[in-house]
Structure 1
Amino acid sequence: MTRSGEVAFQDLQVNGVRLHVAVAGPTSGPLVVLLHGFPEFWYAWRHQLPPLARAGYRVVAPDMRGYDLSDKPVGVEGYKLDLLASDVAELVRAQGRERAVVVGHDWGGVVAWQVAASFPNVVAKLVILNAPHPKAFRRELARNPRQRRKSRYVALFQLPFLPEFLIRRMLPNVAEFFRGTSTRPEGFTDEDAQRYREALSRPGALTAMINYYRALVRFRPVSAFPRIDVSTLLIWGEKDVALEPGNTEDLHKWVPNLRVVRLPMASHWVMSDEPVRVTNLLLDFLGAPASTASPAEASGDNEMLP
């Protein structure tokens, strides 16, 4: 195990792959699993990891399979949604726990929805950030031409080689990509950009990341998507360039125990645009363990990792 400031790093073998995992907080604390999205890695949670850990939670943020320092299975079939959900369930068990709060952003949110559907006994609470419920997303694609236009990149990602080529050409300007789609561009520093460049440049990473999209189109999950009964918080940055706000509407028939918080001035990168607000929402929803700091005290002021 290696350490950097408040965060330690482990390599864990789960579900046939090795996952590189950032961990923080007391080992006896309630377990929170943070799942990043595309094209990020554990570092997407840089603002939330330290305050959650100081509030008394055991926080685990993996590089999901295919990303950064985790294994990158060869072939599209290695990125089926059912496999990604199984990774998370086994990761919880690898921490010696039966259940965890599962938090997911973007693709991590897609996987978190599937974990709650396929392994309901593993999920103590569910938090989703800018990732649509599967049925809501299908509804929006059918009725909203703006969502169809915003989702055209998914069709591009089905092509061989070309998406990898285009993203590779973009790597020198990765800072501009994040800043240009964020409502708080200063939230992505030059150091952040360098970390993302390094993660995206690892051998096999670009193909693995894009294979998430390819597998989603080619392979459907094994079972139909059931009702999610666990207590759920949906945090949504309304200035998302890829997802329409309609994805947050009329969800209670599928997720009856749901709270929706819309952040009008946040983009898709909601954890970076409003880091303190997101951290406080998480702590409030989780219910901070006894004798820990209040949400405002725990979150700090735009807290991030060194």
Structure 2
Amino acid sequence: MSRSMAQSEKVECGNGDVLYGRDTLPGGIRSRQIATRTGVNLHILEAGHLGTARPCVVLLHGFPELAYSWRNQLLPLAHAGFHVVAPDLRGYGRSATRAVAYSDDLLPYSMLNRVSDVLGVVRALGYAEVASVIGHDWGAPTAQWCARLRPDVFRSVVSMSTPFLPAPALPRGADSGSRSEPDIDNELAALKRPRQHYFSVNATDRANEDMWRAPQGVHDLLRALYYFKSADWEGNQPFPLASWTASELARMPEYYIMDSHMGIAATMAAHMPSKAYIDECKWMTEGDLRVYSTEFSRTGFQGGLNYYRRGNDPRFSTELKAFSGRTIAVPACFIGGDRDWATYQSPGAFEDMGSVCTRLLGVHLIDRAGHSLAEERPAQVNEVLLEFFRRTMPGR
């Protein structure tokens, strides 16, 4: 997909609007709404759509991303013989009919509901099973839980950037629950240079307004965020952290461990790339970025931020303890970027993936790739995906 959007064929939405406002995608990619019967209609991009004659691959994006984040995977995977489906997930893009409010019900964003959303798309498309579910960033835990809960449907799984994580622990023994977890927020605030964890910041009631009404505007905020987390920012030289302690976590860049006196918008403004970099950036052109900034300017960020709120709400971690100890039994693969701190932000998770997945067939760190690895290094990512499919799907 090397053609610029300006040279590409326009793709029409079901409502007659051109996809994502004025922007376009290459021919062969279709845009439409899917009724999931899970309480939400999801907008999808798809390629290789020939009914159910082809094996299906589902691509789940992260935050702040969209189905468009998979623009470099849709056609190559379709050309390899797959029906490739990438939804705007609940609360994002064209799946959000209005701006999500902080006061809205958080229950629809629970992990079980998110798995149901993906299953709803699959069923609505007529499939009994999916060849592979692939998730990046926040899409990765959702993909992992799809494979953990419905291995009969999701026959393999790829987690990108986020290592495979275990189900919440429910220890055995009468005294097994006596240990308390460290209060990492208070520990970070008590450092000589007071800090705050981005996860906790994103779960607050001020995060959406901070991003949506950023003084620099949504477009420049996203430009800085994608750049700051990419391999293009020279400060991204990640390494394993020794422990879940404030002193160790504070070794990560400010997009993960922010200064206490700065919000998200101010943190990103301090790392805005130069005009020369913007003009030369091929993996995220101004046209590409406009797709994101147009959609997030319309919807705000609260839909995606609700995933962080859910992660901070004990109601939802408690319900997942029903699956404590349950591993992922389908073929699995991890793909990260060698310049991506997400691999190590949860100390020990990367090293422990083999205990989470009983059939972990590959662990790949893409050279010179940061957090947006599917966009930064699409050819390398696609090569790893197709090789994984060849190993797990005889005859492909």
Give TM class, smaller chain.
0.7 to 0.9
**Which of 359, 366, 370 in structure 2 is aligned with 1:257?**
359
Partner residue in 2 for 1:207: 302
Q: What's the counterpart of residue 55 of structure 1?
A: 80
Deviations along 1:224-255, one digit per CA (max 9) or x if unpaired, are: 24111100010011322444174321321221
Q: Identity percentage over the alignment?
A: 31
Check if 1:235 corresponds to 2:335.
Answer: yes
What is the aligned counterpart of 1:166 among 192, 203, 210? 210
Q: Is the 8 A contact 1:136 1:247 kept in 2?
A: no
Q: Tell me the residue number matched to 2:200.
A: 155
User: What is the Cα deviation at residue 26 of structure 1?
Assistant: 4.0
Q: How many residues align?
A: 284
TM-score by length of 1: 0.84
Structure holding more strand per residue: 1
Structure with larger RCO (C-alpha < 8 A, sep 6+): 1
TM-aligned CA distance change 1:291 to 1:243, over 3 Å: closer
- Structure 1 unmatched runs, 5+: 293-306
Name the SS of the counterpart of 2:76 in structure 1. helix
CA distance in 1, matches of 2:67, 2:196: 25
Q: Give the whole-Å Cα distance in 1 for the aligned partners of 2:114 and 2:339.
A: 28
SS in 1 for 2:158: strand
Question: 2:43 matched to 1:20?
Answer: yes
Preserved contact between residue 236 and residue 261 of structure 1 (Cα < 8 Å): yes
Aligned to 1:304: none
Distance in 2 of aligned mates of 1:125 and 1:248: 19
- Which residue does 1:117 correspond to in 2? 148
Which position in structure 1 is the counterpart of 2:162? 131
Matches within 5 A, 1:1-306: 2=12, 4=25, 5-14=27-36, 15-27=38-50, 28-71=53-96, 74-100=104-130, 101-135=132-166, 152-160=197-205, 162-168=206-212, 169=214, 170-173=217-220, 174-184=222-232, 185-203=281-299, 205-218=300-313, 219-220=316-317, 221-222=319-320, 223-225=322-324, 226-244=326-344, 246-258=348-360, 259-287=362-390
In structure 2, the residue corresponding to 1:114 is in which secondary structure?
helix
Superposed displacement of residue 29, structure 1? 1.3
Q: How large is the Cα RMSD of the aligned pairs? A: 2.7
Q: Conserved in 2, the CA contact under 8 Å of 1:137 and 1:247?
A: no
TM-score, normalization by structure 2? 0.66
On the 8 A contact 1:67/1:209 being kept in 2, the answer is yes
| Alignment gaps of 5+ in structure 2 | 1-10, 14-24, 170-180, 189-194, 233-280
Contact 1:179 1:188 in 2 (8 A): no
The one-letter amino acid of 1:251's match is M
- Native 8 Å contact 2:200 2:312 kept in 1: no
Q: Is the 8 A contact 2:134 2:157 kept in 1?
A: yes
Deviation string, structure 1 residues 51-93 (Cα, Å, up to 9, x no partner): 1111110000000010000036732222111100111112111
Cα distance in 2 for residues equivalent to 1:29 and 1:95: 12
Residues in 2 aligned to 1:237 and 1:106: alpha-carbon distance in whole angstroms? 12
Cα pair 2:219 2:290 within 8 Å, conserved = no
- Aligned equivalents of 1:125 and 1:251: distance in 2? 15
Residue 89 of structure 1 aligns to a residue whose secondary structure is helix
